[in-house]
Structure 1
């Protein structure tokens, strides 16, 4: 199977997944108690006003009609308007995603690089104190909840030491100086610990598996340097490591609701949290579907990258 054929096949597989996500999101959102109209008008508002608002937002139609209308708008790229703010959902979500990317990309770079280093070092020191220490760090990163880590970091570095800001961005767009850059440190560290732990454990297991293969002994017998052998070993671990990295990056791009809430970071997770509180159906639906799209896209890119690294996957 050619690379192009494989990529097209994976792309076609992603379409029904996204369609299924849209149905699931629509059904679950409409199972929530209450609606945004209840949040807009007082409890003693006239029923005529409530009915007019329901009709204006199309909430008085049957669910299947609402879904088909929303799906048609979604296919055209129209995410609708927020019921709570009357602002374009695409504009709100675009700003929130940009802020989430500011956290997710550095957190992924930090977690993946440190996790790879720790996992590789632990594998080469298997059974020794270094291995146990690095493995304990990886397990801790996986086990501790994001939001708890975020609260502890705020308590230590913001409240006790007063070194870093506790909440908010303090800037728009990209940080322009060290003070603004400080707003990124705590949320990035909090978000990076889980991918660090997951990648570290996977890299350790993959490297140990490769070390037990015969070609490693052959490389040693040929007198190849230690650094070049490590490169060969890491190259053979790439398919499995890529898969985990893709999933973790998808989670990070999806935003962490609790971490963004703790740091009052105006990202996609915080936007979704506020929309849920306000029962803002258009924002909830659009945010979840767009985040699901990014997750599926990341897995698609990882599948293609794996096939490029290991052509056997395309068979």
Structure 2
């Protein structure tokens, strides 16, 4: 079995390489099709000699390279190191909220099948999944930030609070350094954007968990538990564990979507992550930065997909290696 799972992991891992190469090629072509020139976008209407223009246009090195927009000449890798932890932190918290809400509402709906509570949970899943992130985020900003003044509406931490960067994840760094003032500030800042993402994405979990649990609860082994007098909450827990395998796949896909699709949330909450970085670089036609960010995302999403495949193979014995 070890040899089978090992071969399975190697094959799945190698599939990441052509995926990244294909994506990189597509991004490269589309960026060159777009009108405009990255150098001219930076210098604007300033007079520049043909020799200087040619020199600037040779700043492509075949790797992530350096930025072509302000500040010019800064390695793209440095931006990735600075911005990616912010997106990852938002993704982790948003993902956690979505999974917990989805499992809770889906389980309640399944155990109350055919009742008004079940109808309410299903209605919640539809509304949550159709919410427009910028609108929903701004509503939360207005209610909790402007009206009640209980939560900040932008940024990652209060101005003036110093925090030693270790991982770039402010909540984790504040714990590692024992900076509880920074910890409280980082938690307060991430609540609204994480809640926005979490609620919107929880609808898919609600419906999937509900449908799978309804199927599991109708099986013979569940009826045998009830016949033996097993407590309701234990039966529900057993049913949830058996209904969890398809949810694992969705969890991996949602995490990848959160990583690559946090642009709207980051823009709404002025969150300094990869989403706002890519949007900013697109305005300047910064080929190097855009390609570097997309390839980095592709590699990370491929890694997440590999982990999901491995977990799925370990949980479900029907998967063939």
TM > 0.5 fold call: yes
Residue 55 (structure 2) pairs with residue 52 (structure 1): yes
Correspondence for 2:272: 266
Which one of the candidate residues 86, 94, 107 is aligned to 1:120? 107
Correspondence for 1:290: 296
Correspondence for 2:26: 24
CA shift, 1:177, in A, is: 4.0
Residue 192 (structure 2) pairs with residue 186 (structure 1): yes
TM-score of the superposed pair, with normalisation by structure 1: 0.88
Correspondence for 2:220: 214
Q: Distance in 2 between matches of 1:314 and 1:228?
A: 31
SS of the residue aligned with 2:20?
helix
CA shift, 1:105, in A, is: 0.8
Correspondence for 2:141: 154
Check conservation: 1:255, 1:268, Cα contact below 8 A: no
Output the aligned Cα RMSD: 1.9
Which one of the candidate residues 9, 12, 15 is aligned to 2:11? 9
Which one of the candidate residues 62, 66, 70 is aligned to 1:81? 66
Count of aligned residue pairs for this structure pair: 297
Correspondence for 1:65: none
Distance 1:42 1:21, change over 3 A: closer
SS of the residue aligned with 1:251?
helix
Correspondence for 2:88: 101
Distance 1:47 1:194, change over 3 A: same
Which one of the candidate residues 41, 53, 72 is aligned to 2:43? 41
Which range moves more in the overlay, 213-222 or 10-19? Answer: 213-222
Cα shift readout 1:210-263 (whole Å, capped 9, x = no counterpart):
223233223333433323322321222222100111111111222511111111
Correspondence for 1:303: 309
Check conservation: 1:100, 1:255, Cα contact below 8 A: no
Correspondence for 1:61: none
SS of the residue aligned with 1:83?
coil
Residue 231 (structure 2) pairs with residue 225 (structure 1): yes
CA shift, 1:179, in A, is: 3.6
SS of the residue aligned with 2:319?
helix
Correspondence for 1:136: 123
Gaps of 5+ in 1: 59-68, 74-78
Cα shift readout 1:114-142 (whole Å, capped 9, x = no counterpart):
21011011011112111111122221111
Q: Distance in 2 between matches of 1:237 and 1:104?
A: 24
Gaps of 5+ in 2: 172-181
Q: Distance in 1 between matches of 2:318 and 2:183?
A: 47
Cα shift readout 1:89-119 (whole Å, capped 9, x = no counterpart):
1111111111112211111111101210110
Cα shift readout 1:136-191 (whole Å, capped 9, x = no counterpart):
22211110111111111112222222221122123555252434421111111111
Q: Distance in 1 between matches of 2:256 and 2:268?
A: 21
Which range moves more in the overlay, 119-128 or 190-199? Answer: 190-199
SS of the residue aligned with 2:318?
helix
